[in-house]
Structure 1
Amino acid sequence: MTPKQAQRLQAQITQIKRTLAAEKRKFGGYDDSRGLRYRPLGLYLKLQDYKGGLSYTRWFAKAFPDDIGFPDFLFEWTVILFKTGHLPQAQVKAWQTFCSNTYVLEKYLGRAIEPVDKYEWSNLASVAFTDHFTYSDQQPELADFSEWLKQLMASERFAHSSQRYVEIHQQLQHEQDRKRREQLLKEADQLETSFNG
């Protein structure tokens, strides 16, 4: 990346921050229906400014505490945490990435995506999203992260939890009994937060 390209990316980050700050001043909160708040992490990754990205994630967590994010944003957050040595938090964020879209991590690692008949916000949209996912384990700057992610996903805890998470969503796809659905949803919620502590 040339210095001019880096300057342009940094200018984009600065402009997004200004726009968000102006919204906060004008409305007393954020009216970011355009999703500008998600863009800086990808720009920080392009710049390989992981410390800047970490600062941004801290601000984001305070400014948008209830925002669950999108799969690519959660993935970028995972990379930032890994690159700055926050491995326990990176594990949590990798798990959140998986739960937000069960195909993203497989797509990143270049594995074949086989749609599973399961209950999600939209299984087809979830698979289709991966077509627009631009990160790959072939990116040299992510080689260390790729190895770490492979080990994490192969760990007994991650493998067991991810398998059970998919099983639950497969059952939810066809389960009609209200009490059983409630039980399955409760178990899925518990699994989603299981890496938090």
Structure 2
Amino acid sequence: MTPKQRQRLEKKIADVKRVLAAEKRKFGGYDDSRGLRYLPTRYYIQLADYPGGLTYLRWFAKTFPDDIGFPDFLFERAILLFKSGKLAEAKVKVWQTFCANTYVLDNFFGQPIHALPKYEWSTMAQIGFTAHFPYTHQQADLLDMSPWLAEFIVSDTFSARKARYLTLHQQLLVEEDDEIRGYLHQEVEVLESHTQF
């Protein structure tokens, strides 16, 4: 990366922070309907500024505590955590990435994407999203993370949770009883909220 390219990325980060700070001053809170808050993680990864990325993630978690983000943002959080040696936290973000879009990890590893019968927002929209997912296991800056991630997603714990998660979504696809659907949704929420692997 040239110094000019670095400078442009650093300016993008500064611009996002400036716009968000202006919103906070103007509205007393954040009205970031454009989703600018999700962009800096990508820039920090491109800059290989992992400490800066972690600082941003801490600010994000404090400022938007209920905002989980989109699949690419969650995966970027996993990258920043992995690159900073926070493997347990990175595993949680990988799991959240899977829950947000069950096709992302297959896409990352170049696996063919097969639509699964499941109850979630449009399967085709999820598959379409993964076509534009900007990360791959062959990227030079992710070659250290790829084997770790490959091992983690086939671990007994991840595999068991993944299988149960997909089964629950398949049951929701056909279940008509409201009470049973309520229990299934509760179990999905419990699975999605796992913070230990």
TM normalised by structure 2 equals 0.97
Matching residue of 1:118: 118
Looking at structure 1, the residues matched to 196 and 19 of structure 2 have their Cα atoms a distance apart, in angstroms, of 32
Contact 2:88 2:196 in 1 (8 A): no
The reply to whether residue 179 of structure 1 matches residue 179 of structure 2 is yes
Partner SS state of residue 94, structure 2: helix
Q: Deviations over 1:82-120 (max 9, x none)?
A: 000011111111101110111111111111111101111
- Match of 2:162, SS state, is helix
Identity across matched positions, percent: 56
The amino acid across from 2:66 in the alignment is: D
SS at match of 1:137: coil
Inter-partner Cα distance in structure 2 for 1:139 and 1:68: 25
Q: Partner letter of residue 150 of structure 1? A: A
In structure 2, distance between residues paired with 1:135 and 1:194: 24
Aligned pair count reads 197
Choose between structure 1 and 2: higher helix proportion: 1
Report the counterpart of residue 100 of structure 1 in structure 2.
Answer: 100
Residue 66 of structure 1 is matched in structure 2 by 66
Counterpart of 1:17? 17
Question: After the TM superposition, which segments of 4 or more aligned residues of structure 1 sit over 2 Å from their partners?
Answer: 194-197
Q: What's the TM-score once normalised by structure 1's chain length?
A: 0.97
Q: Distance in 2 between matches of 1:112 and 1:133?
A: 14
Find the aligned partners of 1:89 and 1:143 in 2 and give their Cα distance: 19
SS of 2:144's equivalent in the other structure is: helix
Q: Distance in 2 between matches of 1:196 and 1:138?
A: 28
Residues 23 and 29, structure 2, Cα contact 8 Å, conserved in 1? yes
1:159 aligns with 2:159: yes
Question: AA paired with 2:113?
Answer: I
Q: Distance in 1 between matches of 2:50 and 2:115?
A: 33
Tell me, in whole angstroms, the C-alpha distance in 1 between the residues paired with 2:133 and 2:7.
24
Unaligned runs of 5+ in 2: none
| Deviation of 1:196 (Å) | 4.3
Whether 1:48 aligns to 2:48 is: yes
Q: What is the rounded CA distance, in whole Å, between the counterparts of 1:144 and 1:132 in structure 2? A: 22
What amino acid does structure 2 have at the position aligned with 1:114? H
Q: CA deviation at 1:73?
A: 0.2
Give the whole-Å Cα distance in 1 for the aligned partners of 2:61 and 2:102. Answer: 23
Q: CA deviation at 1:194?
A: 2.3
Q: What code does the residue aligned with 1:74 have? A: L
Separation of aligned partners in 2, 1:21 and 1:195: 31
Distance in 2 of aligned mates of 1:99 and 1:43: 24
